[in-house]
Structure 1
Amino acid sequence: MAGESSILGVQDIEAMIEQLANIRAAMQPARPLTPPSGTYPMELDPCWRVDRLRDFDGAVLSLRHVGKGWTAFALPASSLASLFEALSTLPHTMPHGERTLLN
């Protein structure tokens, strides 16, 4: 940058990604509630984990992105029910032209 060089290690890059993600989360406009049209990065068969918390009526779903690492999502029971329905609905049983389910 600006004619200067620097050697960044994995930990440095991890810290930068975390800081930039936190900065972006606080910025306006907020990210859209729906995915963009067209193509966007997709993980194929990502690692995942589900945790149940003692004081939370729902579950915490963690997904691993190869570049961004682990992100956890606390899903209340109502969202879990909707997600289960969306995941268990077979595409051929959905009305023609409707292949997407959002909460």
Structure 2
Amino acid sequence: MIAPAPAAAETVDSTAEAATAVVATAQAETPVEVEVAAITPAPSDKSTLHVSRPTQNELTLTINGESITLHPEQLGQLIEELAHARASMQPEPPSGIPSGWRFVTTKNPMMAVQKQSNGDRLLVARHTGYGWVPFTFSPDVVVQMYMMLTQR
């Protein structure tokens, strides 16, 4: 089941009141493959990363002086690859929300829900920055979420 809703993005700092910023979404004119090369600096060297935003639909990454400009479709592909890599790394992200963490929320995202053969539910929500983000919930967690979301 897909529940479409208008998506607005909000930039949020976990230590302050929510600040709202509307993010327009756009597609790159031509899809281009992005190859991410592993950078192996000499042991005494420190890698440097600089991120800049020359225009609304471009992001420039500069790593050790080498720059690449990415457009929305390329950036989405990179985000997906980074998420796959991070999911297999240790240590896992912190279980608590870090102080001062900044994030972008999507209000009323489109969602799809599917029942799995073991009774779990797959929920896929469309985030304006991350794209489609999947989560799997066991039946007891679905009940807990329902109770939390409907609590007054």
Query: Normalising to structure 2: TM-score of the pair?
Result: 0.49
* 1:27 and 2:94 are equivalent in the alignment: no
> 1:37-62 deviations in whole A, cap 9, x for unaligned?
34531414141314223514132222
Unaligned 5+ segments in structure 1 are 91-103
* 1:45 and 2:120 are equivalent in the alignment: no
Q: How many residues of Structure 1 are paired with residues of Structure 2 in the alignment?
A: 90
CA distance in 2, matches of 1:42, 1:7: 22
Whether the 8 Å contact between 2:123 and 2:136 is mirrored in structure 1 is yes
Counterpart among 21, 38, 57 of residue 119 in structure 2: 57
Shift in Å at residue 34 of structure 1? 2.5
Shift in Å at residue 32 of structure 1? 1.5
Q: Which has the higher helix share?
A: 1
Query: Normalising to structure 1: TM-score of the pair?
Result: 0.67
Q: CA RMSD in A?
A: 2.4
Unaligned 5+ segments in structure 2 are 1-61
Q: What amino acid is aligned across from residue 64 of structure 1 in structure 2?
A: R
Give aligned-pair identity as a percent: 28
* Secondary structure class of the residue paired with 2:129: coil
Q: Which has the higher strand share?
A: 2
Which residue number in structure 1 is paired with residue 70 of structure 2? Answer: 8
Shift in Å at residue 5 of structure 1? 4.8
